Amino acid sequence: MVKFPSDFLWGGALAANQVEGAYAEDGKGLSVADVMTAGAHGVPRQITEGVQSDMYYPNHTAIDFYHQYPSDCELFAELGLKALRISIAWSRIFPNADDPEPNEAGLRYYDQLFDTLIARGMEPIVTLSHFEMPYALYQKYGGFRNREAINLFVRYAETVMTRYRGKVRYWMTFNEINNQFGGDDLLAWADSAIQFEADEDREEVIYQTSLYELIASARVVTLGHAIDPANQIGCMIAYSAVYPASSEPLDVLAAAQFMDRSYFYSDIHVRGKIPAATESIWQEKNYNFDLTKEDLTILATGTVDFIGFSYYMSKTVAAVKSEQDPNQLKGIKVVSNPHLVANDWGWEIDAVGLRVILKTLTDRYQLPLFIVENGLGAYDQLTEENEIHDSYRVDYLKQHIIEMSKAINEDGASVIGYTPWGIIDIVSFWTGEMEKRYGLIYVNRDNQGQGDLSRIKKASFTWYQKVIETNGREL
């Protein structure tokens, strides 16, 4: 039987840069998301030098949540949400990253947003950095390549945690901090506000920027507890269940090593220690990082209260063997899984994988878990009657909720809540499309920025309303 704790936080999730728009209003500075053009499936988004007049930037208007949040919050309340995950746009608070004083208009905006949520019975869950660092952090400091970024982040966090003391209890530091590991241009930009130079060792760069972020995160955890002992401060990791392509031992090893890429981050966040597997890699590759004794103490002290994570799909990996020694792993490649069906963007749908990862994390860390992103990106069809019959989305969410319940009731997972991603349609991160839709509320806007931005409740809205009302009993 599907069962959830009585205080379970049923919610929805958003990020400032993907919803707010108003990219240059009320003193906001440019963010790294503001210089990302629109792409499409298979067409990467460009990162431009500042804002170019002949380019289209979908995040500049997004869904205009900045102005429409009061009526959107009405809809969220009607849906019955008990929590809304949202991020603060850092560049609304410190437009130039190192301003002597924070921008009062930016602070006031989030005061109003949090007050609105609380008045409607929704707990704000706040990510401090969700792919939207100030562009000035890149221009003046080179982003998180620079140790000074730690101080700037801590100052920003201290400002907002002090201002919203008593209003916000749940915080997360860096969104999907582990995603940059693969050395992808867009993710390094989004996660760390850096661009790679030609011929540099990307892995080495990412380890260093990540270490600075992990130190910044640990300082904020310690500081956040001092500001308000009631604060619950978590990390945010992108997890996939990872399967070996076959029972061949090297494939199994490849799957385990693939997970190590995420464990580097979560082990430091949760245990405060660099995992041994990572230290071996650093030794083997002769990497030397700027990491002091004091940093190690900061990491050991500032461990998180919960693990927030996104889950969309599983990944299946195969070993790439060395030509000289067939028992030696030379690389790891991601392959498709014949047992799974992918969405239109190639993301393999796997609800059981959510249970697998919940069990894996429970066994490894014994810490509360918070599923802060999960959902199906799909093309929605508006009928002549202005309705959206998104049974595919209901099916996706339903299956994942069932597996989450099994993990809680049969595997001992302690799950704080579930906030499906893009509770209202938003700009896609990877492609910048509006038509890759996750929402239970439709927003009338297309990939070219056409549409009057009106909101329509989808069939999934009514379904999720019932789920929340019955605490998951009626699916």
Strands (E), 198-312: 232-238, 241-244, 306-310
Contacting residue, 153, 181, 207, 421, with ligand BG6 by CB under 6 A: 421
Please identify which residue in 224, 377, 417, 420 interacts with ligand BG6, judged by CB under 6 A.
377
Under the criterion CB under 6 A, does residue 445 sit at the interface with ligand BG6? no
To 5 degrees, how large is the angle CA 363–CA 346–CA 241?
5
Nearer to ligand BG6, 410 or 446 (CB): 446
Judge residue 385's burial from the number of C-beta atoms within 10 Å of its C-beta, 0-12 exposed, 13-18 middle, 19 or more buried: exposed
Length of the chain in terms of residues written: 475
Residue 430 engages ligand BG6 in binding (rule: CB under 6 A):
yes
- Is residue 175 part of the contact set for ligand BG6 (CB under 6 A)? yes
Closest CB to ligand BG6 belongs to which residue?
A: 430
> In this chain, which stretch among 257-265, 324-332, 382-390, 422-430 interacts with ligand BG6, using CB under 6 A?
422-430
What's the closest the beta carbon of residue 424 comes to ligand BG6, in angstroms?
Answer: 13
- Does residue number 189 form part of the binding site for ligand BG6 (CB under 6 A)? no
- Only one of the segments 46-54, 362-370, 386-394, 423-431 lies at the binding site for ligand BG6 (rule: CB under 6 A); that segment is 423-431
Among residues 20, 132, 348, 373, the one annotated as catalytic is 373
Q: How far is CA 168 from CA 67, 131, 287, in A?
A: 21, 20, 39
Active site residue 373: yes
Piece of 49-57, 241-249, 316-324, 430-438 that binds ligand BG6 (CB under 6 A): 430-438
Assess contact for 14 and 124: CB atoms under 8 A.
no
Nearer to ligand BG6, 131 or 171 (CB): 131
Q: Which residues make Cβ contacts (< 8 Å) with residue 426, sequence separation at least 6?
A: 14, 15, 18, 19, 62, 63, 434, 438, 439, 443
Binding to ligand BG6 by CB under 6 A, coded x per residue (else -) over 113-132, reads ------------------x-
Helix (H, G, I), strand (E, B) or coil at 105: helix
Residue 436 phi, psi dihedral angles, 5° rounding: -90, 95
By beta-carbon proximity to ligand BG6, the closer residue of 46 and 96 is: 46
CB of 470: closest distance to ligand BG6 in angstroms?
Answer: 28
Residue 321: CB minimum distance to ligand BG6, A: 31
Start-to-end CA distance of the chain, whole Å, equals 11
* Positive or negative torsion for Cα 225, 231, 236, 239: positive
Residue 119, both tokens:
């008045």
Active site (catalytic) residues: 176, 373
Footprint of ligand BG6 (CB under 6 A):
15, 131, 175-176, 238, 310, 373, 377, 421, 428-431, 436
